[in-house]
Amino acid sequence: MGAKVESSHKIPKVVNDLQSLKTQKPKKILNFSSTASLKVCSFLPLFSQRFFIFHAVWDIGMKEMKPVRLLAILLVVVVATLQVEKASSHGYHPLSRIAIHRATFALEEPAYIQASPSVLGLRGQNTEWVKLEFGTENPKIDDWIGVFSPANFSASTCPEENPRVFPPFLCSAPIKFQYANYSTPGYKDTGKGFLKLQLINQRLEFSFALFSGGLLNPKVVAVSNHVAFANPDAPVYPRIAQGKEWNEMTVTWTSGYGLNDAEPFVEWGPRGETTRSPAVTLTFDRRSLCGAPARTVGWRDPGFIHTSFLKELWPNRQYTYKLGHRLFNGTYIWSRTYQFRASPYPGQNSLQRIVIFGDMGKDEADGSNEYNNFQPGSLNTTKQLIRDLKNIDIVFHIGDICYANGYLSQWDQFTAQVEPIASTVPYMIASGNHERDWPGTGSFYQNMDSGGECGVLAENMFYVPTENRAKFWYKTDYGMFRFCIADTEHDWREGTEQYKFIEHCLASVDRQKQPWLIFLAHRVLGYSSDFYYAEEGSFAEPMGRESLQKLWQKYKVDIGIYGHVHNYERTCPIYQNICTDEEKRHYKGSLNGTIHVVAGGAGASLSTFTAIQTKWSIFKDYDHGFVKLTAFDHSNLLFEYKKSRDGQVYDSFRISRDYRDILACTADSCPSTTLAS
Domain count, the chain: 2
Is 310 a member of any domain? no
What percent of the chain shows pLDDT beyond 70? Answer: 83
CA dist., res. 590 & res. 470, Å (int): 37
Burial level of 547, CB count in 10 A (0-12/13-18/19+)? middle
279 Cβ neighbours under 8 A, 6+ residues apart: 251, 264, 265, 266, 306, 307, 308
CA dist., res. 403 & res. 362, Å (int): 8
**Per-residue pLDDT, 1:** 59
Report pLDDT digits (tens) over 489-499: 999 999 999 99
**Taking 70 as the threshold, does the pLDDT of residue 647 lie above it?**
yes
Q: Which helix (H) or strand (E) holds 91?
A: none
**Taking 60 as the threshold, does the pLDDT of residue 581 lie above it?**
yes
**Per-residue pLDDT, 216:** 82
Is 302 a member of any domain? no
What percent of the chain shows pLDDT beyond 90? Answer: 75
**Taking 50 as the threshold, does the pLDDT of residue 660 lie above it?**
yes
Report pLDDT digits (tens) over 511-547: 999 999 999 999 999 999 999 999 999 999 999 899 9
Report pLDDT digits (tens) over 436-480: 999 999 999 999 999 999 999 999 999 999 999 999 999 999 999
* Nearest alpha-carbon partner for 134 in 181, 176, 73: 181
175 Cβ neighbours under 8 A, 6+ residues apart: 147, 148, 149, 202, 300, 407, 409, 410, 413
Query: What are the C-alpha distances in Å from 375 to residues 175, 319, 325?
Result: 16, 34, 35
Domain end: 208, 229, 250, which one?
229
Choose the weakest-confidence range: 45-59, 115-129, 162-176, 584-598: 45-59
Q: Which helix (H) or strand (E) holds 503?
A: helix 497-507
Report pLDDT digits (tens) over 360-397: 999 999 998 753 457 889 999 999 999 999 999 999 99
Is 524 a member of any domain? yes
CA dist., res. 556 & res. 553, Å (int): 5
**Per-residue pLDDT, 91:** 53
The phi and psi torsions of 364 (rounded to 5 degrees) equal -105, 125
**Taking 90 as the threshold, does the pLDDT of residue 47 lie above it?**
no
According to DSSP, the residues that pair with 144 across neighbouring strands are: 179, 211
Mean pLDDT of the chain: 86
Domain that holds residue 201: 112-229
Is 297 a member of any domain? no
Q: What is the separation, in whole angstroms, between the first and last Cα of the chain? A: 55
Query: What are the C-alpha distances in Å from 423 to residues 8, 126, 400, 477, 478?
Result: 32, 14, 20, 20, 18
Report pLDDT digits (tens) over 199-249: 999 999 999 999 999 888 888 999 999 999 999 999 999 999 999 999 999
CA dist., res. 618 & res. 4, Å (int): 22
Report pLDDT digits (tens) over 53-88: 444 444 444 444 454 444 444 444 444 443 333 333
**Per-residue pLDDT, 272:** 87
Question: Between β-strands 568-575 and 617-621, what pairing exists: parallel, antiparallel or unpaired?
Answer: antiparallel
CATH number at residue 134: 2.60.40
* Nearest alpha-carbon partner for 359 in 646, 87, 567, 609: 567
Domain end: 189, 213, 229, which one?
229
Report helix, strand and coil shares of the chain as percent, to nearest 5. 20, 30, 50
**Taking 50 as the threshold, does the pLDDT of residue 156 lie above it?**
no
Longest Cα–Cα distance of the chain, Å, equals: 99
Is 396 a member of any domain? yes
Torsion region of 466: left, alpha or beta (phi above 0 gives left; psi -120 to 50 gives alpha): beta
**Taking 60 as the threshold, does the pLDDT of residue 155 lie above it?**
no
Q: Where are the beta strands (DSSP E) in 106-214?
A: 112-116, 119-120, 127-135, 144-148, 176-179, 192-200, 207-212
Is 670 a member of any domain? no
**Taking 80 as the threshold, does the pLDDT of residue 50 lie above it?**
no
CA dist., res. 172 & res. 90, Å (int): 24
Q: Residues 486, 612: one domain?
A: yes
Domain end: 201, 229, 257, which one?
229
Model pTM score: 0.85
**523 with 501: CB under 8 angstroms?**
no
Is 507 a member of any domain? yes
**Per-residue pLDDT, 109:** 84
Average of per-residue pLDDT across 611-616:
95
**Taking 50 as the threshold, does the pLDDT of residue 160 lie above it?**
no
Is 473 a member of any domain? yes
CATH number at residue 633: 3.60.21.10
